[in-house]
Each structure stands twice: as structure tokens, then as C-alpha cells.
Amino acid sequence: MNTRQQAYFRTKLLQWKEAILREAQGTLSLLQEDSLREADLTDRASSETDWSIELRTRDRQRKLISKIDAALRRIDDGEYGYCEVSGEPISLGRLEARPIATMTVEAQERHERNEKVSREE
């Protein structure tokens, strides 16, 4: 991967991380402003369910941030864009679609097949 491509993916990853952090800040602000004061139990339960879903989404995004940070470290180390299993280059199309990818499509498919077989046993 050349330096221009590395710079492109670094920018893409940083922008993605910033967007996630902005959304998280918005959620935090809403949580602080809105309290669950609905008089009706059904409305309160609905609001609590909505917040639960929102908080689970933020938790998944928190985990995504650690994957983004790991991808940025791989760029710094010169390992970004190479499969952690085979060492083969990961296609630019795959990295464009999933910039945090650590495996080629083929390696990922093998991994998922092995995982499925393990779960079935």
C-alpha cells in the first residue's frame, strides 16, 4: 500500500471515529436532558426500551472505536491492508467498504466456516 492510499484510509478512519464520537455525545446530552417521566406505564416502558437499544448501539460503537484505533496503529506500523492470516494484500474495494478489515475476503470466509463448524459440534 502506497503512502497516498495510507493517508486516504487514515483520513477515512479518523472521520469515522469523529462521527461516532459526535453521535455518542449527542446521546449523552439527550440522556442528561430527557428523563423518563412519562406518567403512563406503557409509555415509560417504550421509552426505556428505546434507550436500552440506543445504549446497546453506543456500546457496539465503542467497540468499533477500538477497532478503528487498531487499524490506525496498523497504518503507523506499515501493516495496514495486509491479511493477518495469510499476509496477502486486502483488496482496496474491501478496505473501502470495511476500513477496519484485518483479513482478505477468502480468509474471512474460511474463518467464518470454521467458526460455524465449531458451533455446530
44 and 1 part of one domain: yes
50 and 90 part of one domain: no
Predicted pLDDT of residue 3: 93
DSSP the chain: --HHHHHHHHHHHHHHHHHHHHHHHHHHHHHHH-----SSHHHHHHHHHHHHHHHHHHHHHHHHHHHHHHHHHHHHHT-TTB-TTT-PBPPHHHHHH-TT--S-HHHHHHHHHHHHHHHH-
Q: In this predicted model, what pLDDT tens digit does every residue of 10-42 receive, in sequence order?
A: 999 999 999 999 888 877 666 666 655 666 777
Owning domain of residue 67: 1-80
Query: Mean pLDDT over residues 101-119, rounded?
Result: 89
pLDDT at 84 over 90: yes
Q: How far apart are CA 77 and CA 42, in angstroms?
A: 53
Q: In this predicted model, what pLDDT tens digit does every residue of 61-83 receive, in sequence order?
A: 889 999 999 999 999 999 999 99
Is the pTM of the predicted complex or chain greater than 0.85? no
Residue 22 C-alpha cell reads as 459526535
**How many distinct structural domains can be found in the chain?**
2
The domain that contains 71 carries what CATH number?
A: 1.20.120.910
